[in-house]
Chains A and B, each alone.
Chain A
Amino acid sequence: MANDVFVWIEQSDGTADSVAWEMIGAGRRVADALGGQVTACVLGDGVDALAGEAVQRGADTVILVNDATLAIYRLEAYAATLVKLAQEYQPAVFLMGASSQGRELAPYVAAKLGVGLAADCIEVGVDNGSLVATRPALAGNVITKITYSDSQPHMATLRRRVFAPSDPDAARHGQVLTADAALSEADISTKLVEFVTQEGEVNLTDANIVVSGGRGVGGPEGFEPVLALAEALGGAMGASRAAVDAGWIPYAHQVGQTGKTVQPDLYIAVGISGAIQHLAGMKTAKVIVAINKDAEAPIFKVATYGVVGDLFKLVPALTEEFKKRLGK
């Protein structure tokens, strides 16, 4: 298994996170370059169906671990099991999505294995039989190439929505192995008390379309037209730090260096001037639309399309236009 690529299949209640298939997609290309196979690690409780799905999505082998201690994701329990599997199968490379879970799980696993890890990568490849990765640092103001020492597996977390997901193929075959969880409940000190879902919470990092408001919206009520546009487009609503710091909208919506990094197909910035810290969180969107009354605002330097004018007239007009075209 010395050339094999491990990928972790992130899931919740038996449904794979979309980033899991992006990992198989990226893992497949790395494995092909190494002359190895893709092994998907599926951890959960009663998640047998996911093993079949992982095979259809391109895994050659699935290691399936069903255990009550893994029913909900917990760092200690998941890390211990993945460490055990990596020690047993000795893959060359181990990839995880750079999700909230992946970005805490991967470093814990890497530390236990004593191997190198690159965070939030936007490219991975193989050079001379060794993984190479590319990642932004300093809030996206530099791009760093990462190489690895001889200690394997070479680990990386990969940014969401950057790597193409693998397509399912019902005719694909692969082997499914089963394994046991590394810890019993008595060994796990961390317990879930509750999960509090927040009203209007949105999955910004996974959204195809993000519409964000900034200082230019003028106050909490200024987010109403922004939200209406986001909803008309089936997207999520973001905000700049200025609007969050002013108390107009909760921190959960903040996009930028001290908030979330988003990678949508379409990002619409409404009344956002485009401070470098905000750009760090959104400038890799495929298409950026800027709506601002100040034609000199830096946001126009990264925008694909710009509209200079009054957002309170333009945003409702856009909402109506898209509702009409989308038949809503």
Chain B
Amino acid sequence: MNAIALVKHVPDTAQLSSAMDGLKLMAAGPRIINPWDEYAVEECLKLREAHTGQVTVLSLGPAEATEALKQGLAMGADQAVLLSDLAFEGGDTLATARVLAAGIGKLGEWDVVIAGRSALDGDTAQTAIQVAALLDVPQLTYVARIREVDFDAKTITVERMLEGGREVLTTKLPCVISVVKEINEPRYPSFMGIRKAAKATIPTWTAADLGLDPDTVGAAAAGVKWPEINLPPAREGECEIIAGDTPETIAAALADKLMAEKMI
């Protein structure tokens, strides 16, 4: 069994504050492994525990993104690879997916690629799906549970968490899965894991290593660009506090307001 977890090094939105707004955070805020991707790493490790095999963590990003990969190694992944090249910068999700797909191809035989639902920064939830499309394999999104997997018969059955219930789908391996946080509880890295990760050598693969023409990746190949990033407009108006002598008078006053606004 060969499982690959896609991880991204992202700004830590828990650091947002009045002194650290969204723009400052994106520009120079502290980075962490995308929290959603920890669920992807955990699910790969669980598959390895149940079936034996190898878990690889793969990331595209600048040199600092090795920190996210080290987190994956500390959790227990067997190996990590960073895809990094100046040519990759400014890519949209599709240009990024093209590099990831090439990286997955270079890793050799694989059964399943697992990614988090989305990344904290872009929140597009597109990249893993586009990796599947480029690799021409099935994609299972919003997976809350892997019900059954058979690496010999090359089949997998999952539960997808959708509005209104759970859809159970079965498909062929290899495939790409994106997971929601209900799927597991990511483990904390062990002390030994952290030591191992700190000493690990993480190879970096460039566009040339992947056999990618620089014109097909990064800003050069991006179908969308983001020329302006701004802070969201502040919500208009002050909060109007509804007060009263009893809960009943407050309820009546609030109901008056909401009915006047035709909310009810």
- Which A residues fall within an 8 A CB radius of B? 74-76, 79, 99-100, 103-104, 106-108, 110-112, 114-120, 136-149, 151, 189-198, 201, 203-206, 209, 233, 251-252, 257-258, 265-266, 276-277, 283, 286-287, 289-290, 300-310, 313-314, 316-318, 320-322, 325-326
Contact = CB atoms under 8 A, between A and B. Distances in A.
A146 B229 CA distance: 9
Contacts of B228: 144-145
A303 B254 CA distance: 13
23 contacts: A104-B139, A108-B129, A115-B94, A118-B224, A137-B122, A141-B16, A141-B22, A142-B22, A143-B230, A143-B233, A145-B230, A147-B227, A149-B222, A197-B165, A209-B264, A277-B14, A283-B235, A290-B239, A307-B254, A308-B241, A314-B251, A317-B251, A318-B254
A326 B224 contact: no
Given A189-B138, A314-B247, 14 more contacts: A110-B130, A116-B222, A137-B229, A138-B120, A142-B230, A146-B224, A146-B226, A201-B165, A203-B163, A251-B180, A251-B181, A257-B120, A301-B235, A305-B239
B166 interface: yes
Secondary structure class of chain A's binding surface, majority of residues = mixed
Interface of B: 11, 13-14, 16, 21-23, 25-26, 35-36, 92-94, 97, 120-127, 129-130, 132-134, 138-142, 157, 159, 161-172, 180-182, 222-233, 235, 237, 239-243, 246-248, 250-252, 254-255, 257-259, 261, 263-264
A263 B178 CA distance: 24
B129 A107 contact: yes
A114 B255 contact: no
Contacts, number: 253
A111 to B, nearest CB: 4
Contacts of A100: 141-142, 162-163
A137 B16 CA distance: 13
A98 to B, nearest CB: 10
B226 A151 contact: no
B158 to A, nearest CB: 9
